[in-house]
């Protein structure tokens, strides 16, 4: 190795160490930055999971309420069961929200299928709105009435 190669290697090493020292003073050490980034990522992931669960709970509660209101008289002969659910997020929901559920089929048609010995399925759509009326999420839950026995 020549003296010139050694000098350039030494200068490069000093430059790298100076940059690392400056970054550590200004931003914290690499290890600290990584742990902060990981903690922020976990907090953000927790918020996202909580938002998904809250919206799902609000929508499921509203759809279950309309199913019980529409088919409560049928509980002695059929069990309402959720078959599937889909949720779409439209806007950020900050603060109180209201969920409005709507039956996708007339209740009389569903009861007629149940009377005919079938296992009817019907959708319930749910709109989740902020206080200003903006739709923040929409959910569709497909329900069935399973005959007893």
What does the pLDDT look like over 26-76, one tens digit per residue? Answer: 666 665 556 666 777 788 777 777 766 777 788 888 999 999 999 999 999
Residue 30: in which H helix or E strand, if any? Answer: helix 30-71
SS3 20: helix
pTM over 0.75: no
DSSP, res 72: G
Q: What domains are defined for the chain?
A: 3-147 (3.10.129)
Q: Which of 67, 38, 41, 77 is nearest to 126 (CA)?
A: 67
Q: Are 145 and 110 contacting, i.e. CB atoms less than 8 angstroms apart?
A: yes
**Per-residue model confidence (pLDDT) at position 28:** 63
Taking the C-alpha atoms of residue 120 and residue 122, their distance in angstroms, rounded to an integer, is 7
pLDDT surpassing 90 at residue 133 = yes
DSSP, res 48: H
What average pLDDT score do residues 144-148 get?
A: 94
């Amino acid at each position: 190795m020549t003296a010139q190669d050694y000098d350039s290697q030494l200068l490069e090493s000093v430059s790298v160490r100076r940059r690392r020292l400056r970054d550590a003073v200004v931003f914290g050490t690499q290890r600290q930055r990584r742990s902060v980034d990981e903690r922020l990522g976990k907090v953000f992931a927790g918020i996202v999971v909580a938002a998904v669960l809250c919206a799902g709970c609000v929508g499921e509660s509203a759809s279950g309420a309309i199913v019980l209101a529409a088919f409560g008289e049928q509980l002695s002969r059929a069990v309402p069961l959720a078959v599937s659910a889909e949720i779409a997020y439209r806007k950020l929901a900050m603060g109180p929200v209201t969920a409005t559920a709507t039956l996708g089929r007339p209740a009389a048609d569903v009861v007629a299928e149940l009377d005919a010995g079938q296992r009817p399925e019907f959708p319930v759509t749910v709109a989740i709105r902020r206080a200003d009326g903006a739709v923040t999420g929409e959910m569709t839950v497909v329900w069935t009435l399973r005959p007893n026995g």
